[in-house]
Amino acid sequence: MIQDNFVNRVAIYPGSFDPITNGHVDLVKRGLRMFDEIVVLIAYNPNKVYLFTIEERMEMIREIFSDTKEVKVDSHSGLLVDYLKISGANIILRGMRALSDFEYEFQMALMNRRQTKKIETVFLMSGFKWFYTSSKLIKEVVSLGGTVKGLVPDNVNQMLMQKYNIKNNNNGRE
Ligand code: PNS
C-alpha cells in the first residue's frame, strides 16, 4: 500500500554553474518529478577559475526559476557535506553526461558518502539534447565570437555577451 504521509523530499543540486546552461535547467525540471524541492547550490570547486561572481550566478538562476517555488538557490564556500548537515538534507543530485563524467562523479560521490554515511548521490542522465553542452565550452565559444543561443537561457546569453563585451554574437551564424 502506498503511504501518503507527507515527506518533503529535498535534493541539493550542487555545482559551479558558471554559468547555468539549459542542460542544468533540464536536469532541475526532471529532478522535480522525484523531489518536492531542489536547492540549486553554487558550491566552490577549487580547481576552477570563475568567470561570474557568486552573486551574478545566483541572480541568473533565480531569474530562470522565478516561477518555480520548489526551486531554491543558495551558495556555500565550504565542504558540500557540511551544507547538507546544516540544511538537514541527505540527497545530492548530479547530472551525468557521457562516460567521461563517470570517474569524476563516482569519486566525489564516494568521498562525500565517506564523510557522512547518511548521504546518497542520485544521478540523472543528462537530456540527450544537452550531451555536448558544458559551461566551459559555452564560455569558449562566446569568448571567440560564436553563438550559444538555445544552449543557455536568454538571460545567461545576455550576461555572457556583456562579460565578453560582445554587442551581437550572431556574427551571421545561425
Ligand atoms: O560543477 P562542478 O564544478 O563540477 O561542481 C563540483 C562541486 C562544486 C560540486 C564540487 O567541487 C564540490 O562539492 N565542492 C564543494 C567542496 C567539497 O565538498 N569538496 C569535496 C568534494 S568530494
Q: Indicate whether residue 110 lines ligand 1 (CB < 6 A).
A: no
Residue reference for cell 545530492: 92
Contact 82, 115 (CB under 8 A): no
Nearest CA to ligand 1 atom 11: 45
Closest ligand 1 atom, residue 78 Cα: 16
pLDDT band at 98 (very low <50, low <70, confident <90, very high): confident
Identify the CATH homologous superfamily for domain 10-131: HUPs (3.40.50.620)
- Residue 48 CB–ligand 1 contact under 6 Å: yes
43 close to ligand 1 (CB < 6 Angstrom): yes
CB of 79 shorter than 6 A to ligand 1: yes
* Sequence ranges of the domains in the chain: 10-131
Whole-number pLDDT of residue 169: 45
Helix ranges, the chain (H): 22-31, 54-64, 80-87, 102-115, 135-143, 154-163
> Is 48 an annotated catalytic residue?
yes
Global pTM value: 0.93
Find out whether 155 and 64 touch, Cβ atoms under 8 Å: yes
Which residue's CA is the closest to the ligand 1 atom numbered 20?
79
Query: In the predicted model, is pLDDT for residue 166 greater than 90?
Result: no
Going by pLDDT thresholds of 50, 70 and 90, the confidence category of residue 2 is low
Cα 155 to Cα 16, 123, 151: the distances in Å are 17, 27, 12
